[in-house]
Amino acid sequence: MIVVRLAFQSLHNRWLTALLTVLAIALSVMLFLGVEKVRNGAKTSFANTISGTDLIVGARAGSIQLLLYAVFRIGNATSNITMQSIENIAGREDIDWIVPLSLGDSHRGFRVLGTSKGYFEHYRYRQKQKLEFEAGGPFEDLFDAVIGADVARQLGYGLGDPIVVEHGIGAISGKDHDDLPFQVAGILRKTGTPVDRTVHVSLEAIEAIHVNWRPDARAIVPTLSADRIRRLPLQPKAVTAAMIGVKSKLDTFKVQRFINEYRVEPLSAILPGVALQELWSLIDVAETALSVVSAMVVLTAILGMITMILTTLNERRREMAILRSVGAGPRTIFGLLITEAGLLTSAGTALGAVLLYLVLWAVRGAVDARFGIYLALDPLATWEVITLLAILAAGCLAGMLPALRAYRFSLADGMTVRQ
Amino acid sequence: MPQIDAGPRPGETTDVLVLSNVVFSWDQRNGFGLSIDEFAVARGEKVLITGSSGSGKSTFLSLVSGIVHPAKGSIEIAGVETAQLRGAASDRFRANHFGIIFQMFNLLPYASICDNVLLPLDFAPDRRHRALARGTIHDEARRLLTRLGLPEEFHGRKAAQLSVGQQQRVAIARALIGNPDIVIADEPTSALDRSRQRGFLTLLFEEVLRANSTLILVSHDETLAADFDRVEPLHTIAQPV
């Protein structure tokens, strides 16, 4: 194939511009595929924020609201669930376990979660992965706290460091419970879930914090000492929400119906997986916008290639005339330029795919540790291959523009060799 | 389809090129055109066509070599009527029957000398066939180049590395490989200084003779006339329309 050989040699002759064009296409293709990979990674990681929990129960609310405060610690519950109701649900035969959650306090901007030790046992993320301790263990003492990886990193906490819990959830608050210092008993390993940003204490500890406080958040003077608090009955009367595991998945809907129709107080039970999908669909628009932007980048790179070919076209009119004189038809000239565009685009897409995997391979560990986004090193999915082929086709199609121009030149110039 | 493998026919004295009643005009370019009543070149003849720039020399050569096509009239080359040939057939015919030398920059700068010489053979099966008669096509390219004073060590170099004079000699080799019927040269000496023009023409004549080809050379320079069989001012052949 003389045309392919000539296209190769001609490109080789202009290797620097050709290389830059290939790089531009490669980077855009890498970006395009990379955005999709990160998008999928984020989506999967998000969907795996909580797993192994069959139902989340809270005061009657929309499923997204319940999910937001119970799992993502965003916003507040409208009201609580009485401990009585929790016990009623826990007493059912089809319930395997129930982990109460009590929210409402914070520590330097991080939410404080009161829960039972069962939390460390039953909370699962990313394909049923258990919480693991980087250091220490679950809370044993009333004033023990277990902190997430981000809390430890951002505040520079180590085991045994004192923690002062604030009432309310402001980052800065004058109403510190500074007479009741907790201490770090455990630090959890990074999960990429809201657990990383949570300070965990026992349900009793939450009660203890509030012994000295009235609902209007003003301290009763004089305050009780820590020792005296330890002797008080600290059984909580109400919690914010609870995670539930059923014995048999088949019973999930039965339990959900029971909770939703619960007479004593208005409650809602949600399936976390379904609610997570609903929540993700809310940010679908942003997701689409991201894809559109990266598609634009690919388009820009292809336009760049066309510009490159077009600008060289004028100085190559002589080359075209020589080829015409030795018997190359305008169609051969047309084919030469299409081939050139095709070679550039295919080199660009291939290099882009290779770069993508190199970068993925290099950063996936860091991304997982830093952002909790798990980037899979899967081979290209069918649709990704189709996308690459579409980019290739677009490149060749775009090559028609300079090719048609050269075709017209070669017809109009005839034997005249133009500079 | 007529037999187009005319090839060189030693001893034959018939006309290799006959134009009659040809009318051509460019679509664009202010409607410039040429009309040629009668013009013939015998096989083996060396014809110089003179004319100042802008007199239509390039248009005349484009017409003869089939890069553009006449609106009316007949063009017969090596016994084949070509005025009606179009597209691929016309390009193939040109590749098989013509060797073309431009004023300068005859070569693809990124291809090697050898590849430049071999270029027409990719489009001209008849010439390839003839070039193969004496070994491989590379042998033939090397033989031609060496005879034109470009020793082996040059053959692998890029065309852009040669001097203008050397490039014009490569252009002769490219025009003559596979012995085409007609060699067309468009001001091939104007890029050379006068002392080299003589040497270039001598080489060109030798090779045209050896290949049993016919030479049509156009130039504004009437001092070249000495060694040609015939000198024709363009305005006696063709009238602008």
| DSSP of A250-288 | GGHHHHHHHHHT-SSS-EEEE-HHHHHHHHHHHTHHHHH
The Cα B57–Cα A151 span in angstroms is 85
Within a domain: B182: yes
More confident of the two residues A258 and A173: A258
| Percent of chain A residues topping a pLDDT of 90 | 25
Residue type at B174 in one-letter notation: R
Polymer length in residues for chain A: 419
Query: Across the interface, which of B102, B106, B110 has its CB nearest the CB of A12?
Result: B110
Q: Residue B172 to residues A304, B102, B129, B151, B183: CA-CA distances in angstroms?
A: 39, 10, 19, 15, 9
Q: Averaged over B216-235, what is the pLDDT?
A: 89
The mean pLDDT of A151-177, rounded to a whole number, is 72
Q: What is the pairing mode between strands A182-188 and A162-163? A: antiparallel
**Of A113, A92, A102, the residue nearest A245 (C-alpha):** A92
A12 touches chain B (CB under 8 A): yes
Residue B4 within a domain: no
Amino acid, res. A383 = W
**Which residue, A293, A292, A303, A296, is CA-closest to A21?**
A303
**B120-172 pLDDT, tens per residue?**
998 888 999 988 887 898 889 998 998 888 888 888 888 888 888 888 889 99
Residue-wise pLDDT for A204-249, tens only, equals: 888 887 776 544 444 444 456 667 777 777 788 889 999 999 999 8
Each residue's pLDDT tens digit, A72-99: 888 888 888 999 999 999 999 899 999 9
Is residue B79 included in any domain, yes or no?
yes
Closest listed residue to residue A133, CA positions, set A116, A115, A143, A121: A121
In which domain, by residue range, is B222 found? 15-240
Structure tokens at A83: 């401990």
pLDDT exceeds 90 at position A339: no
Q: How many domains does chain B have?
A: 1
Average pLDDT, stretch A39-48?
82
Residue B77: per-residue pLDDT: 92
Q: Give A282 or A112, the one with higher predicted confidence.
A: A112
How would residue B11 be classed by pLDDT, with cut points 50, 70 and 90?
A: very low
Highest averaged pLDDT of the listed ranges A129-138, A166-175, A362-371, B186-195? A129-138
Select the residue of B87, B91, B115 nearest A327 (Cβ to Cβ): B91
CA dist., res. B207 & res. B212, Å (int): 8
Strands of B238-240's sheet in order across: B80-81, B72-77, B15-25, B33-42, B238-240
Q: Do B119 and A324 touch (CB under 8 A)?
A: no
* Inter-chain contacts counted by CB atoms under 8 A, chains A and B: 75
More confident residue, A410 or B108: B108
Instruction: Over range A196-204, report the average pLDDT.
Output: 91
CA gap A49, A200 in Å, rounded:
17
Would you tell me which residues 288-347 of chain A have a C-beta closer than 8 angstroms to some C-beta of chain B? 318-319, 321-329, 331-332
Per-residue pLDDT tens digits for A96-149:
999 999 988 888 888 899 999 899 999 988 878 889 999 888 998 888 999 999
Cα B21 to Cα A40, A319, B38, B51, distances in angstroms: 73, 33, 6, 21
Give Cβ neighbours of residue A405 (< 8 Å, ≥ 6 apart): A310, A313
* Residue A329 to residue B108, Cβ atoms within 8 A: no
pLDDT of residue A221: 45
State the smallest CA–CA distance between residue B92 and chain A in angstroms: 6
> Which CATH number do you get for residue B110?
3.40.50.300
Q: Which amino acid is at A3?
A: V
Averaged pLDDT, A325-338:
83
Residue B28 has pLDDT above 80, yes or no: no
Residue B2 lies in a domain: no
Whether the pLDDT of residue B1 is over 50: the answer is: no
Is A419's pLDDT higher than 70?
A: no
Say if residues A389 and A353 touch (Cβ distance below 8 Å).
Answer: no
Nearest residue in B to A12, CA atom: B110
Question: What pLDDT score was predicted for residue A172?
Answer: 46
Give the residue from B94, B117, B118, B183 with the most A CB atoms within 10 Å of its CB, the best one to mutate. B94
First to last CA, chain A: 28
Work out the burial of residue A18: count CB atoms within 10 Å of its CB; fewer than 13 is exposed, 13-18 middle, 19 or more buried. buried
Total residues found in chain B within this entry: 241
Of the candidates A322, A414, A416, the beta carbon closest to that of B108 is on: A322
Cross-chain Cβ contact B124/A324 below 8 Å:
no
Cβ(A306)–Cβ(A344) below 8 Å: no
